[in-house]
A and B are shown apart, each in its own frame.
Chain A
Amino acid sequence: MTDAIIEIRGLRKTFRSGEVDVHALRGVDLAVKRGEFLAVVGPSGSGKSTLFHILGGLTPAAAGSIVIDGKDLSHLSDVERTNLRKTAVGFVFQKYNLLPTLTVGGNIEIARDIANRKGPFDAQFQEVLRVLGIDGKLDRKPRQLSGGEQQRVAIARAVVNHPSILLADEPTGNLDTENSNAVLDLLRNLNRKIGQTILMITHNPEAAAFADRIVRMRDGHLEDA
């Protein structure tokens, strides 16, 4: 599978909760094509978030291999995983996770600053800002925006460094139907227009329907939906 941007084989993760071992992932295999929009669905506790965190380099895997854009994450140190998050992965969280003291522009700029990127936004990103409808709101504080607008800012921040993959964890979980559809439309637009590879975790079957492909997680295993 030469055009796969993500290749996961035999991925395992076990947590220690008190005196009990929790097997969050029990051998996950997954391949995602470059430019694919993939939805991961499944009940709470099925391992979706753990998969998301390992893909994002927020926590290491216990066993198995995970390759993103040719880089094997299973052998990366903490520092290397931190560096991976700067440019290879973009996150969109359910709670938006914008920095409240910064403006919209500041929230986007800080992601660029962390990745050590300087200068004005490139043409492609300016187009992204237009598509997201926040190009005229860069001076506003997050509290001045609606939930849908805040999530669009979070999407802009996630893609500003042109990551290989965009990880969206329940991106519509805090939004009403209208805003959910708007955000999902935008994600699909990004996927179509700039070929952004997206992995989206969701409980919502309607949201999952926006993706090219849906996979289901159950008890730490992955199965095609």
Chain B
Amino acid sequence: MMLTLVGVGEGMLADQESRTRGVGADIIIRPAGSSAIGITPPSINERLVTWASEQKHVKLATGVAIQPIGGVSTVHGVDYQTLATMSGGFQYISGAPFREAQEAIIDEYYAKEKKLKVGSTIKILNKDWIVSGIFRGGKLTRMMLPIRVLQDMTANTGKVSVIYVKLDDSSHTQAVIDEFKKTLVDYPIYSMDELASQFSVNNVPELKAFIGVVVTLSVLFGFLVVFLAMYTAILERTREIGILKALGASPGYVLGILLRETLLLALLGSVAGILMSYGTKWLLATFIPASMTQSIVYSWWPIAAGVTMLGAVLGVLYPAMKAARQDALESLSYD
């Protein structure tokens, strides 16, 4: 459970990073007062897109309007031609870009999860849209609408959420950012590398807290499960423990056997957990590829194993000590 939940957290951030990089921009300008990552409704005056595109070393600039549509899902309003040029072009699995105001394009993962085809109708913001094209994933978002249409229907005419800027040469990135900051004093402006480094669990306090809760619950569940299992197992093995004690086993010897047994089971449980995390990854990728992406986080393998062992050792300690102190004669007469 721990590896799956941590993997989902990391996977979704990695997916978001990959899609952001897929835009092909060098610089991103976000609204004043916003954080590096997170959903921001349109609040930047669209004239700043024109201003940015006119600056030295800037090859292209495009504004994107982002609208939440429930949970963490969003729809993006884009200037298709500029975005396509900036990102190196969209690859279509089927269909073509939107040409009409009521058309939308979606990525392959969203199409797979929702079982949509070109010509299918989807409801976004209480309005029916016709899927005009299904593009290969990894470009900005999963659902895109014409930016003007989205701005108008959400009363954000003339406003964008973020501005992506592509330079004539990436080596000028820092110089251009420094120049931008002279004018856009309150706006967070990041290079794409800088932004990518923000896609980490440590920069999402809610996710970090969630993972903390998961780890704590894992230790607690591990403790309770092992405690109850071992308590029952030791009751069932009272006679066996009596035999060992009759053979001269000391309390330390009995304790050692039970601890070693538990640690071995915890180790096997950890391996099973790792294998199961591959299973959940396959399930998510097969059934809800657009909603959740899970990574296999290798760095968490020793942490998960450590947490499992800690929970198991805490859980076995009391039953094992009780077993170690059992009277040999009473244990031998147990049926």
- When chains A and B are docked, how far (Å) is the Cα of A110 from the Cα of B250? 13
Binds A, one of B72-80, B144-152, B157-165, B237-245: B237-245
**What does DSSP make chain A's interface, helix, strand, loop or mixed?**
helix
Q: Is A82 an interface residue (CB 8 A)?
A: yes
Which one of B240, B243, B247, B332 contacts A86 once the chains associate, using CB atoms below 8 Å?
B247
**Interface-side segment among A53-61, A182-190, A195-203, A210-218:** A53-61
Q: Please list the residues of chain A having a beta carbon within 8 angstroms of any beta carbon in chain B.
A: 53, 56, 58-59, 79, 82-87, 91, 93, 97-100, 110-111, 114-115, 157
Residue of A58, A59, A83 with highest tally of chain B CB at under 10 A: A58
B contacts with A: majority SS: helix
Q: Is the CB of A58 within 8 A of B253?
A: no
Min CB distance, A166 to chain B, in Å? 13
Residues from chain A with Cβ under 8 Å of B332 in the complex:
58, 93, 97
Given A97-B239, A114-B249, A114-B253, do A58 and B328 touch, yes or no (CB 8 Å)?
A: yes
Contact B248 A85 (CB under 8 A): yes
A110 to B244, CA, bound (A): 8
B329 at the interface (CB under 8 A from A): yes
B334 to chain A, nearest CB (A): 11
Query: Is B246 an interface residue when CB atoms closer than 8 A count as contact?
Result: yes
Question: Which chain B positions have C-beta within 8 A of A97?
Answer: 239, 242-243, 246, 332
Query: B243, A83: Cβ atoms under 8 Å?
Result: no
- Tell me which residues across on chain A come within 8 A of B239, comparing CB atoms: 97
Other A-B pairs beyond A79-B250, A110-B244, 13, CB < 8 Å: A58-B328, A84-B248, A85-B245, A86-B247, A86-B248, A97-B239, A97-B246, A97-B332, A100-B240, A111-B247, A114-B244, A114-B248, A114-B249
How far, in angstroms, from A53 to B245 measured CA to CA in the complex? 13
Per the bound structure, the CA–CA distance linking A98 and B247 in Å amounts to 11
Contacts of B247 in A (CB 8 A): 85-86, 91, 110-111, 114, 157
The 8 closest A-B pairs by CB, nearest first: A86-B248, A85-B248, A97-B243, A114-B249, A111-B247, A58-B329, A114-B248, A114-B247
Contact yes or no, B329 A53, CB < 8 A: yes
Question: Can you sample 14 A-B contacts with CB below 8 Å?
Answer: A53-B329, A58-B328, A82-B245, A82-B250, A85-B245, A85-B246, A87-B248, A97-B239, A97-B246, A99-B240, A99-B244, A110-B247, A114-B247, A115-B248
Complex-state Cα separation, A98 to B242, whole angstroms: 11
Chain B residues closer than 8 Å to A99, beta-carbon distance:
240, 243-244
| Closest partner residue, chain B, to A102 (CB atom) | B240
A59 contacts B248, C-beta separation under 8 Å: no
Residue of A nearest to B246 (CB): A91
Q: Is the CB of B248 within 8 A of A83?
A: yes
Whether A58 contacts B246 by the Cβ 8 Å rule is yes
Please measure, in the bound complex, the distance between the C-alpha atom of A114 and the C-alpha atom of B245, giving whole angstroms.
Answer: 9
Residues in chain B near residue A91, CB distance under 8 A: 246-247
Q: For residue B248, which residues in chain A have a CB less than 8 angstroms away from its CB?
A: 82-87, 111, 114-115
Across-interface contacts of B240 in A (CB, < 8 A)? 99-100
Report B-chain residues with C-beta under 8 Å of the C-beta of A58: 246, 328-329, 332
Interchain nearest-CB distance for A101 vs B (Å): 8
| B250 to A, closest residue via Cβ | A82
- Closest chain B residue to A56, Cβ basis: B246
When C-beta atoms are compared, the residue in chain B nearest to A112 turns out to be: B247
Name the distance in Å between B328's Cβ and chain A's nearest Cβ: 5
| A168, chain B: closest CB distance, angstroms | 13
Q: How far is the CA of A170 from the CA of B245 in the complex (A)?
A: 20
A17, chain B: closest CB distance, angstroms: 14
Give the residues in chain B near A53, CB-CB below 8 Å: 329
The proximity string for B residues 307-335 relative to A, scoring 1 for CB distances below 8 Å and 0 otherwise, is 00000000000000000000011001000
For residues 238 through 271 of chain B, which have their beta carbon under 8 Å from a beta carbon of chain A?
239-240, 242-250, 253
CB proximity to A under 8 Å, residues B204-261? 239-240, 242-250, 253
Residue of B nearest to A83 (CB): B248
- The chain B residue sitting closest to A84, CB to CB, is B248
Q: B244: which A residues are within 8 A, CB to CB?
A: 99, 110, 114
- CA distance in complex: A193, B320 (Å): 42
A87 to B247, CA, bound (A): 9
CA distance A157 to B247 in the complex (A): 9
CA distance A84 to B245 in the complex (A): 11
Instruction: Report the Cα distance A87→B329, complex, angstroms.
Output: 18
